Amino acid sequence: MRSPIIATALIALAASAARADEPKFAYEKKEDLAKAPAWAASVTAGFGLTTGNAQNLNLTGGGSAAYRFDSNMLSLDAVAAIIRTTLPIAVAETQGSTTAVLSSVTQTTSEAWNVKLRYDRFFDLNALYAFGFGGGDVPAGKQFVGGGQVGYARALHKTAKDELVLEGGIDFSHEIFVTGTPNSVDIASLRVYLGYLGNPSESLSYNVSVEWLGNVNSETRPTGEVGAFGDNRVNGKLGVTWKMFGNGSLGFRFRCLYDSAPAPKPLPALPPGLQWPPGYTPLAEKFDTFTEIVLVYKLI
């Protein structure tokens, strides 16, 4: 008999005439900035559920908002993803039994969230920026990550339909691990960001970016010492939005995260009679990817 499946539903609502997480073309002359909309905001929500032989629950959500005033801009971005999966396991039929029966265990395979508040001060094609952030990813071993960045940005190339931006600055992060000793680390890093925004037609927009963070201080981690530039983090993003009909659009989002010095991975509970070897500290995977397709509807 086929398992009942509740299909994934993805909904995205835009709260103004422009989405805050799409190309904003913020590098303009002061008189042109004054003509741009003051507010832009959007929210997204996703839900997926599979029952029967395969059991999964997926919840995703996020939101963006931006406010322009004079030659300044404040922007807020938030995103979260939770995935719970039920897996079959074998357990003893009774205590002390040598025969096994089929049971199940439910695990959280994704518990990631991130919030960022950013300020930009524009000078034509140049800008100074500062932002603070907080987040976490328990399956990746990070209970909490928080900090801030400051730096300089410049539009290297700009037309009415596309824009290439380079940013450089410094970053300070404080990470709290789910497990391990010491249970936290402070990281001072150099930051370089390159992003391209395009809007070739009224029905198509896209953005591509890559960000690199490299530590300049030595770190004492549960697995030992990490020297300068031994903890490199790379974040890559790709987004495409197609206008389908009226105010409705279809969006594709892809993110790839790389960490050369990942956090210790949380260890699952063991069956009776087993124990982990002394000092056993497995690390989280160095690569994480996230892909989603969303329906976008512009309300105003």
Domain locations along the chain = 5-298
Strand partners, 184: 176
For residues 108 and 150, the model is more confident at: 150
Any idea which fold 5-298 has?
Outer membrane phospholipase (ompla); Chain C (2.40.230)
User: What is the rounded CA–CA span in Å between residue 272 and residue 168?
Assistant: 52
- Residue 14's pLDDT is 29
Q: Which of 161, 131, 164, 123 is nearest to 148 (CA)?
A: 131
- Residue 41's pLDDT is 79
Burial label for 160, CB within 10 Å (0-12, 13-18, 19+), is: exposed
Strand partners, 129: 120, 151
Collapse the DSSP code of 60 into the 3-class scheme (helix H, G, I; strand E, B; otherwise coil) and give the result.
Answer: strand
Residues 41 and 65: beta-carbon distance below 8 Å: yes
pLDDT in tens, 60-99: 778 888 898 888 899 999 988 888 888 777 777 777 777 8
User: What is the rounded CA–CA span in Å between residue 118 and residue 129?
Assistant: 7
pLDDT confidence of 28, banded at 50, 70, 90?
Answer: low
- Residue 26's pLDDT is 60
CA dihedral 153, 148, 257, 47 (to 10 degrees): -110
pLDDT in tens, 174-215: 999 998 889 999 999 999 999 999 999 988 999 999 999 999
- Residue 4's pLDDT is 36
- Residue 128's pLDDT is 95
- Residue 165's pLDDT is 94
Helices (H), 46-192: none
- Is 15's pLDDT higher than 60? no
pLDDT confidence of 260, banded at 50, 70, 90?
Answer: very high
Residues 22 and 40: beta-carbon distance below 8 Å: no
pLDDT confidence of 55, banded at 50, 70, 90?
Answer: confident
Residues 66 and 78: beta-carbon distance below 8 Å: no
Identify the residue whose tokens are 């974040």: 235
| pTM tops 0.85, yes or no | no
Q: What integer best gives the mean pLDDT of the chain?
A: 82
Collapse the DSSP code of 182 into the 3-class scheme (helix H, G, I; strand E, B; otherwise coil) and give the result.
Answer: coil
pLDDT confidence of 7, banded at 50, 70, 90?
Answer: very low
Q: What percent of the chain has pLDDT over 90?
A: 41
CA distances from 83 to 61, 195, 260 (A): 12, 29, 24
Least confident residue range of 34-38, 141-145, 158-162, 258-262: 34-38
- Residue 261's pLDDT is 94
Helices (H), the chain: 30-33
User: What is the rounded CA–CA span in Å between residue 124 and residue 30?
Assistant: 7
pLDDT confidence of 135, banded at 50, 70, 90?
Answer: very high
pLDDT confidence of 134, banded at 50, 70, 90?
Answer: very high
User: What is the rounded CA–CA span in Å between residue 294 and residue 83?
Assistant: 17
- Residue 24's pLDDT is 52
